Amino acid sequence: YLSGLKTWPEGKTEKAISEISGAIDLNSGLDIYFRDISKLYLVRLNEIFQRMDLSQEELRNKTQELINNALNSAIRTTEISPNNVANWNIRGFIYRNLIELVSGTENWAIKSYEEAIKLEPQSPYIFNEIGLVFLAKADLLSRTSGQEKEISENLNKAKDNFQKAIELKLDYPSAHFQLAMIYQREGKTKEAISKLEETKLIAPFDSGLAFQLGLLYYNNNQFDLAKGEFERAVRIDESYSNARYFLGLIY
């Protein structure tokens, strides 16, 4: 198991999966093994999608196998220890990340997080995750015309859950950030900028936040402010290529 954890950050996903699978073969009663391997299956799934050397049939077979493995591993965690909130959280997380690939997983994600809330009702993380589920559903609906009402309903549900997360923890940066992204989707640029400026005070060293605020300034023709945020993003993360790209446009 520890060998798998060590090889994971090195990008050796297949080896990490093999090692943790070996740990599971030796002891299949530890939920933490299944929590970690379910996340690894998602990482591997994303890697497979980047492959250009696979036929459509190979891609379909490999992705289906990884999806099944991720789902089964996440479900197994709650079978082993149903009173551990981390297991319901990882199950919801896996479902949420498969919304675009597997029909109906948004409903299972919500059910999983509802079980997590029963165990830890004061956790801002869980409500933030539920907000992300509704946000992913809204984005999925936006690809089909005539879904405006459903999109609006899901965005409003997302807002409600992000607000709930903030009520539980006023300085919870992810919820503030996601609210800003919803305002952006709704075309409320002023509100989006205001929310990200507020979030900047909470998370001053978040390069992604700096980039998104810079992007909002840029699209609003506030180029001096945009330049400052892109430069801040690069100071935090020198390899932030998107921030450097927009700095180049501004220069």
| Predicted confidence (pLDDT) per residue in 70-88, tens digit | 999 999 999 999 999 999 9
pLDDT at residue 80 in the model:
98
CA 173 to each of CA 5, 52, 128, 225: distance values in angstroms, whole numbers, following the listed order: 28, 36, 10, 21
148-168 vs 124-141: helix crossing angle, rounded to 10: 170
Query: What single string gives the DSSP state of each residue in 112-158?
Result: HHHHHHHH-TT-HHHHHHHHHHHHHHHHHHTTSTT-HHHHHHHHHHH
**pTM for this model (two decimals):** 0.88
Examine the pLDDT at 52 and tell me if it is beyond 90: no
Cα dihedral 217, 218, 219, 222 sign: positive
Return the half-sphere exposure (C-beta side, CA atoms, 13 A cut-off) of residue 9. 4
**Average pLDDT of 113-127?**
97
Q: Cβ–Cβ contacts within 10 Å for residue 109, how many? A: 26
Per-residue pLDDT, 146: 85
- Residue 99 Cα to chain centre, angstroms: 11
For the cut 90, the answer to whether the pLDDT of residue 98 exceeds it is yes
Number of H helices, E strands in the chain: 13, 0
What's the alpha-carbon Rg for the chain, to the nearest Å? 20
Distance CA 227, CA 35 (A): 41
What is the predicted pLDDT for the residue at 210? 95
